Chain A
Amino acid sequence: MNEFLSAINFDQMLEAFAETLYMSFGSLILAVIIGMIIGILLYCTQTGGLYENKFINPIVDLIVNILRAVPFIILMILIIPITKFLVGTMLGATAAIPSLVFAAAPFYARLCVIAFTEVDKGTIEASKAMGASKLQIIFKVLLPESLPALISGVCVTGISLISYTAMAGAIGGGGLGNLAYMYGFIRRNNAVLYTATALIVLLVFIIQGIGDRIVKKIDKR
């Protein structure tokens, strides 16, 4: 046991853990904001939507589909120029964020559209009948009525992001993924490999647990 523990540099482990948290949550916040805006845009511009638009909808839909289709590891490489422009470098935790957001925002947008589609059309009709404006319908009906699904979507996106950060780590993004790959796998340090993996698993469990609890609390259906 002591041998196992002595093989781990705890400062390094802690720093990697902090980097993973920073990359995951930093990109999660951005991805949720951008994804929700795209989700609302997609939902509202679809045929029969509040702001039906036969021009914008298919274009946004296509972009979302392309970004969702490209594997993350390739997406990361493809957007290196954008990353360099935004962050100035392509190494380190901050440099991983643009590619993480590019991957997660379309994913969350899709989850938002699913959540909005599940809102009872009848309640939207009732709100129209009461004289609600389109913005009132979005902010007072659509978002509150789909909140549990939106929040569980945040969890799912967050968990995907944690696994993406591990991949980002492999090409120099830092974090637990980088640690597990560079020190655990390349240098054959099993203690580091297992500990880093355990921390990632733990993080996923915590996020899922918190998410489930919040959803249960606010879901009054």
Chain B
Amino acid sequence: MIELKNIVKTFAGKNTEIHAVRGVTLNIEDGDIFGIVGYSGAGKSTLVRIINQLEKQTSGEVVIDGKEISSLSESQLRLERQKIGMIFQHFNLLWSRTVAENIAFPLEIAKVDKAVRQKKVQELIRLVGLEGREGAYPSELSGGQKQRVGIARALANDPKILLCDEATSALDPETTDSILELLNRINKELGITIVMITHQMEVVQKICRHIAVMSEGKVVEEGTVKNVFEKPRHEVTRRFVQTVGAGNLEKIRSDLKKKYPYGQILRLIFTGEISDRPILAEVIRKIDIPVSIVSSNITMGPDGPMGEIYSHISDGTQAQYKQFTKLLEAEGVKVEVL
């Protein structure tokens, strides 16, 4: 468990002081995928660097598994850092080393025997799906492949925590998905706690379970991704949620009402905790009503489909609408009548 207790970080600027982090308290549970979201300058990059002490906080405590990290000596801290992997937006690979040598680098640092090292590197290459590219140099790899090397390198010393600093921001959407899939698998298979810094809400939606929204050095909203997405309270959160299509309810409602003055418009909310069964199709088959999907934003979350569907029922009785709603709700889909 990572406990951040009232973290403050102030940089001394030329004339003024820059308050990057102003009193952040967060608890990140073991095995969680925790997203820290915010615009640039919100202090999230500084905060994540305080977790592994690349930046020393001005005040406050960082406690990892009961150990106060900020009071460790230089050499103790180095050992502790070997158990905290980190990946970066620009990958930060050593260009002078091949893929295999890059992955072996943290093992060299930890003074692992060569034979053990080579075996571990092979395992990691398989894990991240880079078989056959062991001898390539970073300049010969695509962005997605480079990040895979970064992930393998970060996992080399069997860390319990993986810090991701905008790990997908330099990648195209398709590659982002494949990297997120890999991170999700690592979290599930190896039980590693993942802390993700990002400004991409869709990244949070796809893989995180908990989220903290940062603005001007403070956490302005925190909770499960589900709750924050459904009921964003803070202005910044609302803006973020809107970037993935949700949240802009009023406008969608009035647009749809104008377009479909008759029948019934429903908002179906998938919270990511339901099965992959074709729920909608099954319900429509049971009650024979004409349902059309007019707008939808569904992505696969860590546990199942997440997002919302706006559907229009062009014909039917009130009793049928009620029945339709009831059956969907029984499957865990939230239904709102617009």
Contact = CB atoms under 8 A, between A and B. Distances in A.
Given A122-B90, A123-B94, A141-B94, A128 B54 contact: yes
A8 interface: no
A140 B101 CA distance: 11
A123 B109 contact: no
Nearest to B137: A220
A59 B92 CA distance: 33
Task: Summarize A's interface: helix, strand, loop or mixed.
Answer: helix
Of B86, B93, B96, B97, most A-chain CB atoms within 10 Å: B96
B81 A130 contact: yes
Interface string A102-125: 000000000000000000101101
A48 interface: no
Given A122-B88, A140-B108, A130 B96 contact: no
B78 A131 contact: yes
Contacts of A145: 94-96
**Which of B77, B94, B110, B137 counts the most chain A CB atoms within 10 A?**
B94
Contact of B139 (A131, A132, A136, A220): A220
B86 A144 contact: no
A216 interface: no
Interface in A121-151: 122-123, 125-133, 136, 140-141, 144-145, 147
- Interface of B (DSSP majority class): mixed
Contacts of A140: 105, 108-109
Given A128-B54, A130-B109, A131-B110, A123 B93 contact: yes
Nearest to A134: B74
Interface string B73-113: 00101111110101010101111110000000110111000
Interface string B56-85: 000000000000000000010111111010
B169 to A, nearest CB: 14
A129 B81 CA distance: 6
Contacts of A54: none
A172 to B, nearest CB: 44
A217 interface: no
Given A129-B52, A131-B79, A220-B137, A122 B108 contact: no
A140 B94 CA distance: 10
Contacts of B82: 130-131
A109 to B, nearest CB: 22
Interface residues of A, number: 21
Q: Which of B81, B95, B137 has the most A CB atoms < 10 Å from its CB?
A: B95
A221 B95 contact: yes
Contacts of A123: 92-94
Contacts of B94: 123, 141, 144-145
Query: Is the interface on chain B under 10, 10 to 19, 20 to 34, or 35 or more residues?
Result: 20 to 34
A125 B55 CA distance: 11
Given A132-B78, A144-B94, A221 B106 contact: no
A128 to B, nearest CB: 6
B300 to A, nearest CB: 30
Contact of A129 (B54, B93, B138): B54
Contacts of A147: 96
Contacts of A126: 86, 88, 92-93
A89 to B, nearest CB: 44
A125 B109 contact: no
Nearest to A123: B92
A129 B109 contact: no
28 contacts: A122-B88, A122-B92, A123-B94, A125-B92, A126-B93, A128-B54, A128-B81, A129-B81, A130-B81, A130-B109, A130-B153, A131-B77, A131-B78, A131-B79, A131-B81, A131-B82, A131-B109, A131-B110, A131-B157, A132-B109, A133-B78, A133-B109, A136-B109, A140-B105, A141-B94, A144-B94, A145-B94, A221-B139
Closest 6 CB pairs of A and B: A131-B81, A122-B92, A126-B92, A131-B82, A131-B78, A220-B137
Given A123-B94, A126-B88, A131-B82, 11 more contacts: A126-B93, A128-B81, A129-B81, A131-B79, A132-B109, A133-B109, A136-B109, A145-B94, A145-B96, A220-B95, A221-B139
Interface of B: 52, 54, 75, 77-82, 84, 86, 88, 90, 92-97, 105-106, 108-110, 137-139, 153, 157, 163
